[in-house]
Amino acid sequence: MIEEVETKDAIKTQEYFVNMGPQHPSTHGVLRLMLELDGEIIKKVTPHIGYIHRSIEKMSEKDSYRQIVHLTDRMDYLSNHMNNEAVCLLVENALEVEVSDRVKVIRTIMSELTRLSSHQLWWGVMGMDLGALTTFLYAFRDREMINDIFEETCGARLTVNYNVPGGVMFDIHPNFQQRVKDFIKSFKTKLPEYDDLLSNNVIFRQRTEGVGILSKEDAISYGVTGPTGRASGFSNDTRKHKPYSAYDRVEFKEILMDKGDTFSRYKARILEMWESVSIIEQLIDNIPEGDIQEPSVKQVIKLPKGEFYQSVETARGELGVYVVSDGQKSPYRLKFRSPGFSNLFVLDHMVRGYKIADLVAMMSTIDLVIPDIDR
Amino acid sequence: MKEPLDLTPLTQSIHDYLLSYLSPFWTTTVEWVIIGVLLIAFVALSVMGLVYIERKVAAFFQLRLGPNRVGKWGLLQTLADFLKLLMKEHITSKNADKFLFNLAPFIIVIASFLAIGAIPFALGLQAMDINIGLFYITAASSIGVLGILIGGWAGNNKYSLIGALRSGAQVVSYEISAVLSLLTIVVLSGSLQLSTIIESQSDGWWIFKGHLPVFIAFIMFLIAGTAETNRGPFDLAEAESELTAGFHTEYSGIKFAMFFLAEYVNLFIIAAVGATVFLGGWMPFHIGNWAAFNEVMNYIPPVIWFFFKVGFVIGLIMWFKWTFPRLRIDQLLVLEWKYLLPINLVNLIVVAFIAMMGWYF
């Protein structure tokens, strides 16, 4: 694989390999990238995954549908609500159960709060990857407020496990609406700070603009979804195309960019935060009354025979759950289509010819969560 | 008229006292030992102070509290960290070039110590007032890059090698800008001797006297100085998110601490040179012929003026580090060779013209 490169002075240089990870500050977990380098120029990137594989899909074949929900928290832990929601929606659709409007609205608010918290963390880490260490704690200051809201209503901050098939586990806390409103009010003043600190910085713009361009065709053929794909102009927002929960009754824009470079992917997420804020604002005062759990869903759920598919939009892209049921209390086979997996493998295509520093920036804008890739 | 506090009588009396007991040769020897011990003690203390200040400043920028558990207000945190590093194992990887690997931290520390010897701390408080002081400091501090290159090579780690080569390219380039911006003041004051440069600012610091060109030179010096000390946004040699720890990835324990020490000594040197050359060193704040005002200012001892100014420059450099993202290596070199260097050259010609026509205050 390693070949010698002839230079004009007849001094021979050699391409070399560097193992980036599984322990590396900017692979955000235990991802291992094998870089083939010529000096600082990247010739090839081979991602090696599986360092945090916990066989969640196989475990699901032994678990009941109520138990599967709590495993999904451990996949993309920053999109915990959406992961839970995907399994719950699938079970409800398969059982042909309609949950109450109250549950739909609560789920939507929770999902958008999760999206906000995920994007906040991503923003902080993106700054850190580019060497601006201060962004991380600014992001955590705001993320803390969301985690407090989760803690109060769900009892957990990260692995919330709030959705259950047929509804949500508990009703919202009496403080919930007020705290969400407080958060929205404060975050609307904080979000412009993000632009001041990072987006409008000259060095940041130079590092990101025109770097790592992913064309729309490539985004589609690699199956790149979420903000990463939408920054290349690929309209793939599940919330728009296949609305679930209360997304059909709120107004929001699908953020589409046309350049597809690192900065577009960055900007897409910043704009998406504004959209999430707007969705929450539309719903928070209009939570209808109703049951929080559908009484017709039994404790032991048996899905009818057949194949079912449900997709939701997580903070990273389209999460699909595919279940083959043979009528038992556990699925015969369960498969997660995780957004991170598809998004990761476009990295090699994007990064060739760029430098190590650009690789870190691109990896950051793909917004990888390794447990989501490995499952 | 109150003159600034002069410490020359103090040092002179020590010299005379020693001379009354010892031969001139032994007097000089003893004086060198005293100065050496004092400088080492000063460096150790000031680095600990700087690390503490840096952590507090970073905490201030990042909405945190910073160290606050070890000692009052966390003042002993750096000492605790130092003791921890002292007791850690020295790890030398199997394929490392052991001699060079152990040599590199010493080179980088020695270079910093050499440079700090010529810094004028106050009137009469300067170890060596040589007639090419400014040239000596820049020359001595540029040896440090050898330590980085050797350390990065000898560790036999690809990350360190990339970091070291980046650092080599960076320091060699930015040295030019730093020296060119310092040359503007050499042209204006007509001397490379630091005491003469400070004396020439007794009626106003160069940054005020020299109009816009000197201000530009000061900005250039700040940028180039930050790059020379390998600090953010120019910390490409270390580049935590890309190269884990850059050139000192393989170093552990006290050898790592020596790199760390050198980084902060270099920060102090850059700030001290900047303060001395552009902001008047220990010279109190004087305005032209305002005798009464100047006299009041003279009551503040020079050493306080010096550390106040150094603190100001260090504060600026820390502000950069905790605000800006890191540049990429090609952008870094483009910034130097396409922007800073031409601006500096033109600036130097303008300053030379100003000096020739006597158009400064």
Mean pLDDT for B89-108 is: 86
What domain range is A153 assigned to? 53-374
pLDDT of A6 reads 58
Q: Is A5 on the interface with B (CB under 8 A)?
A: no
Q: Nearest CA to A4 among A35, A38, A12?
A: A12
Q: Is A209 on the interface with B (CB under 8 A)?
A: no
Q: For residues B174-206, b (16+ Cβ closer than 10 Å) or e, as one string?
A: bbbbbbbbbbbbbbbbebbbbbebbebbeebbb
The domain tally of chain A equals 1
Q: Is A149 on the interface with B (CB under 8 A)?
A: no
Please identify which residue in the block is written with the tokens 């630091």: B194
Helix, strand or coil, per DSSP, at residue B77? helix
- Residue B61: its H or E element: helix B24-61
Phi, psi of A168 (to 5 degrees): -120, 160
pLDDT of B188 reads 84
pLDDT of B261 reads 87
**A128: exposed, middle or buried (Cβ count in 10 Å: 0-12, 13-18, 19+):** buried
Contact list, B63 vs chain A (CB under 8 Å) = 137-138, 141
Contact present, A322 and A308 (Cβ < 8 Å): yes
Residue A1 lies in a domain: no
Token duo for residue B352: 């030379």
How many Å apart are CA B220 and CA B207, to the nearest integer? 13
Residue B2 lies in a domain: no
**B309: exposed, middle or buried (Cβ count in 10 Å: 0-12, 13-18, 19+):** buried
Neighbours of B32 (CB within 10 A): 11
Q: At B258, which amino acid appears?
A: M
CB within 8 Å: A131 and B330: no
How many Å apart are CA B316 and CA B275, to the nearest integer? 12
Q: Name which of A82-91, B237-246, B247-256, B335-344 the model is least confident about.
A: B237-246
Whether the predicted model's global pTM rises above the 0.90 cut: no
Q: What is the CATH number of the domain that holds A81?
A: 1.10.645.10
CB within 8 Å: A141 and B63: yes
Neighbours of A189 (CB within 10 A): 8
Q: Half-sphere exposure of residue A152, counting CA atoms within 13 Å on the CB side?
A: 16
* Chain B residue nearest residue A364, CA to CA: B241
CB within 8 Å: A130 and B325: yes
pLDDT of A118 reads 92
Please identify which residue in the block is written with the tokens 């503040």: B300
Residue B3 lies in a domain: no
Strand partners for A313: A318
How many Å apart are CA B202 and CA B192, to the nearest integer? 17
Residue A159 lies in a domain: yes
The domain tally of chain B equals 1
3-state helix, strand, coil in chain B (%, to 5): 70, 0, 30
pLDDT of A39 reads 80
Which among B244, B323, B329 has CB closest to A134?
A: B323
Residue A129 lies in a domain: yes
What distance separates the 2 farthest-apart alpha carbons in chain B?
68
**Highest mean pLDDT: which of A358-367, B9-18, B283-292?**
A358-367
Give just the sign of the alpha carbon dihedral B60, B61, B62, B66.
negative
> What residues contact residue A294 under an 8 Å CB cut-off, 6+ apart?
A92, A97, A98, A99, A100, A103, A166, A167
Which stretches in chain A have pLDDT values below 70? 1-10
Mean pLDDT (chain B) is 84
Question: What's the Rg (C-alpha) of chain B?
Answer: 21
pLDDT of A25 reads 78
Q: Is A186 on the interface with B (CB under 8 A)?
A: no
pLDDT of A114 reads 92
Contact present, A5 and A12 (Cβ < 8 Å): yes
Q: Give, in order, the Cα–Cα distances in Å from B96 to each of A225, B92, B295.
A: 45, 7, 60
ipTM comes to: 0.80
How many Å apart are CA B293 and CA B308, to the nearest integer? 19
pLDDT of B202 reads 75
Which among B61, B62, B242 has CB closest to A357?
A: B242
How many Å apart are CA A335 and CA A333, to the nearest integer? 7
Q: What is the pLDDT of residues B290-346, one digit of tens each?
A: 777 777 777 777 888 888 888 899 988 888 888 888 888 888 888 889 998 999 999
Would the pLDDT of B177 be above 80?
yes
- Residue B167: its H or E element: helix B158-189
* Chain A residue nearest residue B328, CA to CA: A357
Neighbours of A325 (CB within 10 A): 21
How many Å apart are CA B238 and CA B259, to the nearest integer? 11
Q: How far is B69 from chain A (nearest CA, A)?
A: 20
Helix, strand or coil, per DSSP, at residue A175? coil
Residues 30-89 of A with CB under 8 A from B: 40
- Residue B186: its H or E element: helix B158-189
What domain range is B76 assigned to? 8-357
pLDDT of A300 reads 84
Strand partners for A323: A308, A334
Contact present, A314 and A226 (Cβ < 8 Å): yes
pLDDT of B321 reads 87
Question: What's the Rg (C-alpha) of chain A?
Answer: 22
Contact present, B4 and B284 (Cβ < 8 Å): yes
Q: Is A356 on the interface with B (CB under 8 A)?
A: yes
pLDDT of A9 reads 65
pLDDT of A5 reads 57
**C-alpha dihedral, B22 to B25 to B27 to B28, nearest 10°:** 180
Contact list, B61 vs chain A (CB under 8 Å) = 134
Neighbours of B245 (CB within 10 A): 19
Q: Measure CA B360 to chain center.
A: 28
Q: Give, in order, the Cα–Cα distances in Å from A216 to each of A226, A241, B161.
A: 13, 18, 38
Q: At B85, which amino acid appears?
A: L
Token duo for residue B191: 């001397």
**B33: exposed, middle or buried (Cβ count in 10 Å: 0-12, 13-18, 19+):** exposed
Mean pLDDT for B128-139 is: 85
Residue B69's region, left for phi above 0, alpha for psi from -120 to 50, else beta, is alpha
Residue B1 lies in a domain: no
**A180: exposed, middle or buried (Cβ count in 10 Å: 0-12, 13-18, 19+):** buried
Neighbours of A321 (CB within 10 A): 25
Residue A110 lies in a domain: yes
How many Å apart are CA A161 and CA A154, to the nearest integer? 8
Q: Nearest CA to A237 among A259, A253, A257?
A: A253
Angle separating helix axes A65-72 and A80-95, nearest 10 degrees: 160
